[in-house]
Amino acid sequence: MIKIKIIFNPVAGKGEESANINELALTLLDRNYTVSKFVTKQKNDAFNEAFKTAISGEWNLIISAGGDGTLNEVINGIIKSSNPINLAVYPIGTMNDFGKFLNIPKDPYKLADRIDEGRYSNVDVGKINSQHFINVASMGIFTSVAHTTSKESKNLFGPLAYYIEGLRQFSSTNIPLAYIDIESEQFSFSGEFIIFLISNSSSIGGFHKMAPKACIDDGKFDCILIKKAPAYKLFEIFLKVFNGQHINSEFVEYFQTNRISFDTKEEIDVDGEYHSNGKQTVEIIHNALKMII
């Protein structure tokens, strides 16, 4: 009997997904799975439950039902357990970048179908110091978009709220510049920058072609550096993000690597949560997880 643990964040997105989660659980039960639902109440609940579930060795699959932050906690719990367990995503949050990259359906029956079919794939995971991430580590003005966009705006406009906030920041005539030192085998840089992204998937902040060449099982990060540029050029870059052509700009560096070090005073955002600044080393763990796709 296959045993499935659903780790559910009830406040993700608009906080209106309980009925769908219950429908998913009932559908899986009807298909002869053993199902248990764990509801998070505070930060690190998803991490702790994923760790306990994985280390017990009694479960076959965890479903992370929440946003990018919930998924980040779950993958950190699984990896810390050192006991591999299969993972699926049920995307609930406003952005759900990684879930959208995998084209995971929000229909409970369609997700159950994928579980029935056993549509698994190996997935890389990033490691920044001792913390793991599955989608992106970011610095610069883009880092603040998720945190400066109001909950009211997200509830009203959904993903469009992030685009509006991103456009506002990109088109500002007073964009704050920051300094960064970057060192990898493929690329080095010291100077002022607007945005620096270290990505595992192509979808970042709701922009689905931000890292257009990204692949989640190639053992490489896709890195995007947007350097100091005139405001009108930054506006052009922002518009080109939607079709992935921004990487051709003279002010954008795009490269792939499996290990990179950098030093900046800017706040670092890791899968939607703030991380410490300063000197950091980021490396990729190839095929770290097996996920439903």
Query: CB–CB of 268/275 below 8 Å?
Result: yes
Q: Which of 253, 267, 273, 283 is catalytic?
A: 273
For residues 210 and 246, give the distance between their C-alpha atoms in angstroms, rounded to a whole number: 8
User: Locate tokens 């429908």: which residue?
Assistant: 23
What are the φ and ψ backbone dihedral angles of 210, each rounded to 5 degrees? -65, -40
Do the beta carbons of residue 51 and residue 80 sit within 8 Å? yes
Q: How many CB atoms lie within 10 A of CB 79?
A: 21
**Distance, CA of 29 to CA of 6 (rounded, Å):** 12
> Pick from 70, 100, 90, 95: which is nearest to 20 by CA?
90
Determine whether 23 is an active site residue.
no
Bridge partners of 83, per DSSP, are: none
Helix (H) or strand (E) run with residue 217 in it = none
Active-site residue list: 273
